[in-house]
Amino acid sequence: MHNTHPQFIVLLGPPGAGKGTQAERLSGALAIPTISTGEMLRQEGRSGSLLGAQIQTLLDAGHLVSDELIQKVVAQRLAQPDCRQGCILDGFPRTATQARFLDQLLAKMGFGAPIVFDLAIAPEELVARLSLRRQCPLCDRTFQVLPGAIETCPHDGASLVPRPDDAPETIRRRLRIYADHTSEIVRFYQNRGYHRINASQPADHVTSKVLGILGNAPAGTNGLKRPVPASQHLSALSPVAH
């Protein structure tokens, strides 16, 4: 399924809401790339550029990267040929300042404002969902393990381990931080191109809803491969870096 006009999509949602899963599905359905801020910063840091050196110094010291540096990286990435038909932004913008920058950048490129999907899910459901996550210590892939599952990585056979940041109290703290930092950007987008999606539904229902809103598929269908059956006990999740 390919889009016929450029579509720039912003995915909002707390850790564990399924942004990575939806970004991967939408990227395949719309034939546009997914752009993760964390991944972009790491790639730029390894690039050897002057900008990359600045970013790597901050990352190595554990400091936050400034709006100015993030915006430079985003501008460079969106200028690449594979973004001519749009892209999916996961992790950017995070502030109203970044959102205004994105509007201005897209306008300069001749595009309209982005479409925003806010994946909403109850905090206690997120705690339950994330407490079932396990990570492979070798390949860093993250999985959600159902009760009774054999907790080994299907890619390299290593024993899966709990993520340190998935302890219930840690999750609740991360959710509070997320809520505090995103209320501003939700207010910025709320009256234009903003869609709140119930992310507690099965992943393919969420994908279907998003594609229906985008006008690329009727509600209830998504044209994608079916997910791994629950009977297989192990389902891959995209790593959550924010």
Length of the chain (residues)? 242
Q: What's the rounded mean pLDDT across residues 53-62?
A: 77
Whether residue 230 has pLDDT greater than 70: no
Q: Which of 25, 77, 133, 134 does the annotation list as catalytic?
A: 133
Q: Is 2 among the domain residues?
A: no
- Active-site residue, 163 included: yes
Compute, in degrees rounded to 10, the torsion defined by CA atoms 2, 192, 237, 229. Answer: -60
Instruction: Supply the range of the domain harboring residue 207.
Output: 7-223+230-237
Active site residue 108: no
Q: Does 23 reside within a domain?
A: yes
Question: Is 127 within a domain?
Answer: yes
Is 42 part of any domain? yes
Q: Is residue 1 part of a domain?
A: no
* 25 part of the active site: no
Enclosing H/E stretch for 50 = helix 50-60
Residue with tokens 């400034």: 66
Told to judge if 192 belongs to the known catalytic residues of this protein, a careful annotator would answer no
Question: How many domains are there within the chain?
Answer: 1
pTM for this entry: 0.73
pLDDT band at residue 46 using 50, 70 and 90 as cut-offs: confident
Catalytic residue chosen out of the listed positions 19, 77, 134, 141 = 19
Q: Is 46 a catalytic residue?
A: no
- Token readout for 64 is 């936050």
Q: Pick the catalytic residue: 77, 134, 141, 174?
A: 174
Which member of 94, 129, 141, 209 is catalytic? 94
Catalytic residue among 42, 72, 163, 172: 163
- Could you tell me the two tokens for 52? 């990359």
Is the separation of the CB atoms in 127 and 168 below 8 Å?
Answer: yes
CATH number at residue 137: 3.40.50.300
Q: Is residue 150 part of a domain?
A: yes
3-class secondary structure, 71: helix
Among 43-52, 64-73, 115-124, 219-228, the range scoring the smallest mean pLDDT is 219-228
| Residue type at 186 in one-letter notation | V
Q: How far apart are CA 69 and CA 88, in angstroms?
A: 20
Cα–Cα distance, 232 to 166 (Å, whole number) = 23
| pLDDT given at position 14 | 86
The one-character DSSP state at 81 is: G
**C-alpha atoms less than 13 angstroms from C-alpha of 155 in its C-beta half-sphere:** 12
User: Tens of pLDDT along 191-207?
Assistant: 888 999 999 999 999 99
Question: Residue 118 pLDDT > 90, yes or no?
Answer: yes
